[in-house]
Amino acid sequence: MSRRARAALLGANRALYGLARPLLFRMSAQAAHDRTLDILRWADRQRWLQPLLRAAGGLAFDPEAGPVEVGGVMFDSPLIVAAGLVKGDGFASEADALGAVRRGANIIPGWRSIPWLAGPVEFGSFTRWPRLGNPGVVVWRDPPTRSAQNRVGLRNPGAVAAAAFLAARARWLPRQFGVNVAASPGVDDPAQQAEEVSAALAAFVQRGVRPAWFTVNLSCPNVEDDPANRQTPDLARRVCGAAMAAAQSGAPVWVKVGPALGADQYRALMQVCAEVGVRAIIATNTLPAPAPGAPALTAGVSGGRLHAQAVEAAALLVQEKARQGYPVDVIGCGGVMDAPTYHNFARLGVRAVQYWTALIYRGPLVAALIAAEHGQMARLSASREEEAALDRVA
């Protein structure tokens, strides 16, 4: 597709989402989130949508940018949908979740349509056992800062049912997806945490589900029994070591960290990741903060209000990687919304980013918009540099 045709299509998308957004924003964030999951469940069933969504999603792929290798995976596009969108329904027990899989229910809405539309996607987080997540309102928006807050609380069908669901659809699985696993909140014993993460990951491997990467989520702020201790080097060594063994060298393992750690902790985590063979660190998860209207509860901030801190964390990790020569890539995540916010990670030398909240504020084709805007920005600055060099010669 020519650059002009891409630009026209992206312009149409901008205009369309510009019209749809005020309607969506009339609903509460919670209602919009629930409706989106209904739409994804419906879209997954519509095979006729595949070529349309693929064509639209293909816009994210900038042919001039070329493929990029990050964390042991070769990507066509450096923009990856972050964990938490395609994560699945909550269940009270594994028997219930497996029963739903046997009945043919779609327990992971978006598993098909989001990769058609957006390319690479990280599924999960999945815990060893199913979780219903937190009750009541769990998602909020803050339009002035283009932020969101959530306390979904790791709602998911559990790794065994998720793996059974995906294994039964092996023929239709996307070419590139990641699987994010986490220990159950409330499990404090390090040995049990390692055991849970490794069992969750093994559930996929044993059923022949082969993602392009696994992510170990060491950071979940949306539960009151905040497992901040998950991110200590000792625990990370144990949990990541177990994950590496369970992955059986089948897929690279990445680690996801929070945005509020000390500089020494980031450095130590980078060292542990290098030691155990983790290939990439995603910086970052959401930032813990009081939930809107319920300050005693915790809800993770994402989007604009997270961006600066996520960039700072990524910068520290990149610096340590360079200083020590560690073979661990850094993947930016937190408030990637447009070309400038993407560039804040890219200029550190980060070659891929993940995004979530940008989907709320800029619509389903946001990756294509960011890729196009960033390409334009890069071309503009190259031509400015060229002009400056000519001026100097003259």
Q: Where along the sequence are the contacts to ligand FMN (CB under 6 A)?
A: 82-84, 87, 125, 139, 148, 150, 152, 154, 180, 217, 256, 285-286, 302-303, 306, 333-336, 355-358
For ligand FMN, which is the closer residue by CB, 6 or 252? 252
Q: Which long-range contacts (CB under 8 A, 24 or more apart) does 192-196 make?
A: 193/230, 193/235, 193/238, 193/239, 194/238, 194/239, 194/241, 194/242, 195/242, 196/127, 196/128
For ligand FMN, which is the closer residue by CB, 209 or 306? 306
For ligand FMN, which is the closer residue by CB, 316 or 333? 333
For ligand FMN, which is the closer residue by CB, 59 or 137? 137
Strands of the sheet containing 147-150, edge to edge, are 139-142, 147-150, 294-303, 287-291
For ligand FMN, which is the closer residue by CB, 112 or 230? 230
In 3D, which of 328, 371, 373 has the Cα closest to residue 353?
371
The nearest distance, CB 42 to ligand FMN, in angstroms, is 20
Spatial neighbors of 385 by CB under 8 A, at least 6 apart, are none
For ligand FMN, which is the closer residue by CB, 134 or 150? 150
Dihedral, 234, 239, 242, 243 alpha carbons, nearest 10: -140
Nearest residue to ligand FMN, scored by beta-carbon proximity: 84
In 3D, which of 153, 149, 129 has the Cα closest to residue 140?
149
The nearest distance, CB 353 to ligand FMN, in angstroms, is 8
3-state helix, strand, coil in the chain (%, to 5): 50, 20, 35
